[in-house]
Every structure is written in C-alpha cells, then in structure tokens.
Amino acid sequence: MTSNHTQAYLDELKAIKDASCYPYRSDIDPSYGYFPSFAAGVLFSILFAIPFFYHTFQSVRLRATTSILLALGALTELIGWAARAYSGKCPYNGDAFMSQEVTLIIAPVFFSAALYVLLGKLILDLGPRSSMISAKWYAIVFCSCDVGSLIVQAIGGARASMADTNSDMELGTHIMVAGIAFQLLTMTLFVGFMIDFLLRVLRTQGEFRGMVTKGMKLVFVALIISTLMIYIRSVYRTIELAQGWHGYLISHEGYFIGLDAAIMVIAVGVFVPIDPAVVFAGEGRPGYARKMRGVKGLSSGEPSDAELAMEPVPGRY
C-alpha cells in the first residue's frame, strides 16, 4: 500500500470513528474488537429494567437501603446495555463504547454494597455471636475497598485510553488489572466472612431457634446465589483484563454475555422474588418482637438486644 493510500485509509478510518453513527464494515474492527449484538443489547436492557423499576418502587415504599442500592446497580447496568444496543447499530460510536465500558464496570459495585449491607443487617438481627466482626464494619470496610478498587481501575483505564505507546497502554492495563484483582480479593474476604456467619448459625441452631424465620432462610439463599454470581463475574473480569485489550476473552462477546451480563441478571434478579426489604418489612410488623418472647432465653424480663433488633425500623433493609 502506497503512502497516499495509507493516508487515505487513515483519514477514512478517522472519519468513521468521528461519525455519530456509521454502519459496520467487516474490514474495520470497532473498539469492542467485534460487532456487538443489537439483540443482546435490547434483551439485557429489558432484563435489567425489570429489577430497576421493581426496586425503585420498593425504595420509595419501604425506604430500604438494599432496595436503593439494587435499583442503582440495575439502572447502571441498564444504561450500559442500552449503550451496547446503540453500538449494535452504530458500532464505531466512541461515546457509546465508553458509556458501556464505564457503567458495566461500576454496576456490580452497587450489588456488592447491597450484599454487604444485607449481611450486616442479618448479623444485627441475630446478634454479635453470629459473626466474627461487628455488623457495622461490613458496609464501611468492604464498600471502601470497592470504591478504592474502582478508583484504581479508573486511573488505569484513563492512562490506557490516552496512551500514545504500547508500553503506556500496557502500564494502564496493568493498573486496571491490579484494581479489579483487589476487588476480587475484597469479595473473597467477604465470602469467607459470609461462610463463617452461615456456619455459626447452622452449628448453633438451638441458640437461634425462633429467630431464623422462613423468610430469613430464603434471604440466606438469595444472598448466597447473588454473592456466587458476583464472585464468578469478578474472576472472569480479572482474567479477561489480564489477557490485555486484544486477548481472547475480551474479543469474544459470547463470554461477556455469559460470564458478565447473564450472571449479573441473576445477581440482582434473585432479589425480586426474594426481596429482603419486603420479607423483613412483613416480619417486622408491630407486635413481631413481642412474639419472640416465647423463645428460650427470651421469655421474661425486659426485651433483649435480639428482641429489640427485630422491632420494625423504617429503611433497615
């Protein structure tokens, strides 16, 4: 190819990428490394819209922290997948690409925060004996770690996107990998504490008899499922970024759909049929704590901490 032809090609490429919407050409790869699926973008926009509207409604009705966080996470996913749907028609649009890149990295942090808050609230209900650390530290410590990992990823992403050389791009990528690896470490520690909590409750069922209701058991199941989904996604994204911007995983949309989109739908979707805010609002109706007084060790005298913990408090979950 002559220098004139090369310059003409580069000019054409720049014009395509600068255009607000330009149809797909097989000889020019979009920033994704593939032609993103319009159908997948629409499908997952709808799937995330459902929990968004549901948890938004519950946020207004019950003022529950978990509902607010889940609604924010679902909204962020919805924005990201709407951007990918737009890319399915305009694959070279840089704004759409960056929008989905940022939102789909941030969204799971809201889901993780909801899990941290939820486990802390469960520990408050069952008392300090159910956990090796204080309930208040779950949201403080783990959310702080997630925010820190996002900042590191943002720094790495900005450096990679503005890189003029391959070495600068690699450095930015390595910083991003460090950020998401730290996020994976944070989730691993949370999983460890969650397992410890569940084992304590199972090993001392007599101690917690009557306190662990049917609704709470369902919330345990939803918590485990959602945590597992987010953990799988964290492992996938860590490996994906470690392979680099031209790696196998990042250049095949099927893996992204199966190991990010689909499991994030499950992570937030499981809290629609099993909504902690609804479950505990129902069990926390007036008089609920008084019914607890028949439980062994709670049958006389002043209300214990466990009884008081079950009194209805707006916005607890």
Query: What whole-number distance in Å separates Cα of residue 249 and Cα of residue 88?
Result: 19
* Residues 77, 266 contacting (CB under 8 angstroms): no
Q: Which residues contact residue 231 at a Cβ distance below 8 angstroms, ignoring those fewer than 6 apart?
A: 184, 187, 188, 191
* Residues 179, 153 contacting (CB under 8 angstroms): yes
- Using one digit for the tens of pLDDT, what is the confidence trace for 181-190? 898 999 999 9
Q: Is the confidence at residue 250, as pLDDT, over 80?
A: yes
The mean pLDDT value of the chain amounts to 81
- Using one digit for the tens of pLDDT, what is the confidence trace for 147-165? 898 888 888 877 776 766 7
Query: What whole-number distance in Å separates Cα of residue 143 and Cα of residue 183?
Result: 10
- Using one digit for the tens of pLDDT, what is the confidence trace for 27-60? 788 888 899 999 999 999 999 999 999 999 999 9
Pick from 107-121, 272-286, 296-310: least confident: 296-310
Q: Which residues contact residue 288 at a Cβ distance below 8 angstroms, ignoring those fewer than 6 apart?
A: 310, 311, 312
Q: Is the confidence at residue 171, as pLDDT, over 90?
A: no
Tokens of 178: 């460090």
Fold of the 31-309 domain: Rhopdopsin 7-helix transmembrane proteins (1.20.1070)
> How far, in Å, are 38, 158, 166, 235 from residue 98 at the CA level?
17, 11, 20, 22
Q: Is the confidence at residue 208, as pLDDT, over 70?
A: no
Angle at which helices 65-87 and 262-269 cross, to 10°: 160
Q: Is the confidence at residue 304, as pLDDT, over 70?
A: no
* Residues 77, 51 contacting (CB under 8 angstroms): no
pLDDT computed for residue 308 by the predictor: 40
Q: Is the confidence at residue 311, as pLDDT, over 80?
A: no
Full-model pTM: 0.82
pLDDT category at 213 given cuts 50, 70, 90 is confident
Domain ranges (residues) in the chain: 31-309
